[in-house]
Amino acid sequence: MRPSAITTPSAPAHPTRQVIIETARTLLRRFGEEKLTVVDIARALGMSHANVYRFFKTKAEILDAIIEQWLEKVEAFVDGIARRPGSAAQRLEAVVLELHRKRRQKLLEDAEVYATFQRLFELRPDAAARHRQKLLNVFHRLLAEGLASGEFTAVDCREAATVLKDATTAFLHPLMISATGVEETESRARNVVRYIVAGFSSPPPRANRRDSVRHLAGRRTASRPA
């Protein structure tokens, strides 16, 4: 099994590839990942399983492709939110809340499928890492926009994006969604974002937040000042 091989976007994507992916995804949703066999995929398509191997080197490559397409959908969803009109703070909050809500919803309405995808991601940790990086980029972009528009002041975008990502992990990470308890998750997520973002925007007296942090005697991580 190749370690990663993040889908080659250079691949011309033979139409049969896409058909195989879709069939595999259907079977995956219906029967779960441990009942998904290459033989079954081939049978559902009326071809020999050997033929599937003309389009995918390994079964893992099929799973990679499914994950890849699913991640692209999620990322489009997040980008859509990030591009809305409104303040950067509003959009940061919306990204976190709506992604959280969507994941919770998925978990509640079809725990089986949710668990399937969760296990799938455990098998391909690099895909998950890449996904988290994308989310980090969205945070970073929104922070940079807020800074550019004057909405935020004295923010180290890179550092702050990491803080946001880490602090919202409880509400966004697939492993946590099922463990975060059922109560009030949306308002708790909102509060986390607001408590953090509040520090970015303190409007008139600009030095306060940094001073109040300073007194903790800090070397912060990547201290390239904004």
The answer to the question of residue 85 lying near a copy of itself (CB under 8 A) is no
The answer to the question of residue 184 lying near a copy of itself (CB under 8 A) is yes
Pick from 137, 136, 160: which is nearest to 222 by CA?
160
60-79 residues in contact with a copy of itself (CB under 8 A) are none
Of 38-46, 72-80, 111-119, 131-139, the segment contacting DNA by CB under 7 A is 38-46
Amino acid at 130: R
Ramachandran quadrant class, 37 (left: phi over 0; alpha: psi -120 to 50; beta: rest): beta
Of 29-37, 82-90, 108-116, 135-143, the segment contacting DNA by CB under 7 A is 29-37
User: What is each CA distance from 17 to 50, 53, 65, 77, 175, in whole angstroms?
Assistant: 14, 10, 9, 24, 30
Amino acid at 36: L
The answer to the question of residue 111 lying near a copy of itself (CB under 8 A) is no
With CB under 5 to 8 Å by kind, the binding choice for 22 among a copy of itself, DNA, none is none
**Structural contact between residues 168 and 192, judged by C-beta atoms closer than 8 angstroms:** yes
In angstroms, rounded to a whole number, what is the distance separating the alpha carbons of residues 40 and 35?
Answer: 9
User: What is each CA distance from 163 to 8, 54, 155, 168, in whole angstroms?
Assistant: 31, 45, 11, 8
Of 33-41, 42-50, 104-112, 178-186, the segment contacting a copy of itself by CB under 8 A is 178-186
**Structural contact between residues 159 and 141, judged by C-beta atoms closer than 8 angstroms:** no
H or E, element range at 23: helix 15-31
Q: Which is nearer to DNA, 32 or 174 (CB)?
A: 32
The answer to the question of residue 190 lying near a copy of itself (CB under 8 A) is yes
Q: Which residue ranges make up the site for a copy of itself (CB under 8 A)?
A: 87, 89-90, 93, 129, 159-160, 162-163, 166-171, 173, 175-176, 179-181, 184, 187-192, 194-199, 201-205, 208-209, 211-213, 215-216, 218, 220-221
Q: Which residue ranges make up the site for DNA (CB under 7 A)?
A: 1, 16, 34-40, 46-51, 53-54, 57-60
